[in-house]
């Protein structure tokens, strides 16, 4: 009797598994996976040329300051720069007095503890402080951004294939879904709350277009603030945040190469001097 009961239970499990398998197969038949849409319509970043490119590149500090202005007025509402301290901004041409003013006026204060009550508190930022986080935690970030967590931008150029070119292309790449995509992949329509961008790996991302019109940021140096210019400048700034000491590294490399060339010359001269009287 017990053996028949085990057979019955096994048959029931097998039946349930067959139903689940049939449901999965049926779903795949009627709604095939849309990875092909991303593979076919995803675009590679457009080339972007910055002054810092190449081994002999240099920082265009005026451009970096414009990029910081774009970050401050547009990107900082959602994205943090947790690996950058305010005093690091002297590296892009700001004076110590300017850095102090930027830190004090930053819209997000520094978390602190009230000495009298021991309760969480805030205080003005100081040049030695790192840029404060935009959101206190991941839950707060999701609640404010349609259940998506805006990534920190400090190392974004290093973290994304294509670097600065990817950032520039992504910012300028928002557009309506092409009719051809919807014809070939009817179920690949951009879901509500997401935005189509062919430079993003899955074609749809939660971040709305950050730069929507020319003149959105009024540059202090008088440069014409087109969308392309603003996106290029903020990409250049994020290249700097990813590696503020890049030019120091380049200079060290130049010195190392020069030393090796001199060493090779001296070694060759010593070789010729030692072996000059030896006949082959």
Residue ranges at the known binding site? 75, 78-79, 207
How long is the chain?
Answer: 280
State how far the alpha carbon of 137 is from the alpha carbons of 86, 142, 143, in Å.
22, 9, 10
Long-range contacts of 48-52 (CB under 8 A, 24+ apart): 48/164, 48/165, 48/168, 48/169, 48/232, 48/235, 50/164, 50/232, 50/235, 50/236, 50/239, 51/236, 52/236, 52/239, 52/240, 52/246, 52/247
Angle between helix 61-73 and 227-242 (nearest 10): 100
What residues form the annotated binding site for heme c? Answer: 75, 78-79, 207
∠ Cα 146 152 157 (to 5°): 120
Give backbone dihedrals phi and psi of 96, rounded to 5 degrees, phi first: -60, -35
Partners of 111 in the β-ladder: 122
> What sign does the dihedral 29-31-35-41 (CA atoms) show?
positive
Tokens 């997401």, located at residue: 194
Residues 6+ apart with CB under 8 A from 74: 210, 211, 216, 217, 230, 234
∠ Cα 105 108 110 (to 5°): 95
State how far the alpha carbon of 100 is from the alpha carbons of 65, 86, 94, 238, in Å.
15, 8, 10, 21
- Tell me the C-alpha distance between 121 and 109, whole Å: 9
């Amino acid at each position: 009797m017990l053996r028949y009961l085990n057979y019955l239970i096994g048959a029931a499990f097998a039946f349930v598994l067959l139903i689940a398998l049939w449901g999965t197969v049926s779903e795949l038949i009627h709604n095939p996976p849309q990875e092909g849409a991303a593979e076919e319509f995803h675009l590679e970043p457009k080339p972007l040329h910055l002054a810092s490119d190449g081994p002999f590149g240099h920082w265009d500090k005026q451009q970096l300051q414009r990029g910081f202005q774009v970050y401050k007025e547009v990107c900082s509402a959602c994205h943090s720069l947790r690996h950058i301290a305010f005093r690091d901004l002297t590296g892009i041409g700001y004076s110590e007095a300017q850095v102090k003013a930027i830190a004090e006026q930053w819209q997000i204060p520094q978390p602190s503890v009230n000495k009298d009550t021991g309760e969480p508190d805030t205080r003005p930022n100081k040049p030695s402080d790192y840029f404060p986080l935009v959101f206190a935690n991941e839950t707060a970030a999701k609640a404010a951004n349609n259940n998506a967590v805006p990534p920190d931008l400090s190392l974004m150029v290093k973290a994304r294939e294509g670097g600065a070119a990817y950032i520039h292309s992504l910012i300028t790449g928002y557009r309506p879904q092409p009719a051809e995509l919807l014809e070939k992949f009817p179920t690949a329509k951009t879901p509500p709350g997401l935005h189509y961008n062919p430079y993003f790996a899955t074609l749809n991302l939660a971040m709305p277009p950050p730069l929507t019109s020319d003149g959105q940021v009024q540059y202090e140096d008088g440069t014409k603030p087109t969308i392309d210019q603003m996106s290029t400048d903020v990409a250049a700034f994020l290249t700097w945040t990813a590696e503020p000491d890049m030019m120091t590294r380049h200079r060290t490399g130049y010195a190392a190469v020069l030393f090796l060339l001199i060493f090779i010359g001296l070694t060759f001269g010593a070789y010729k001097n030692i072996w000059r009287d030896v006949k082959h």
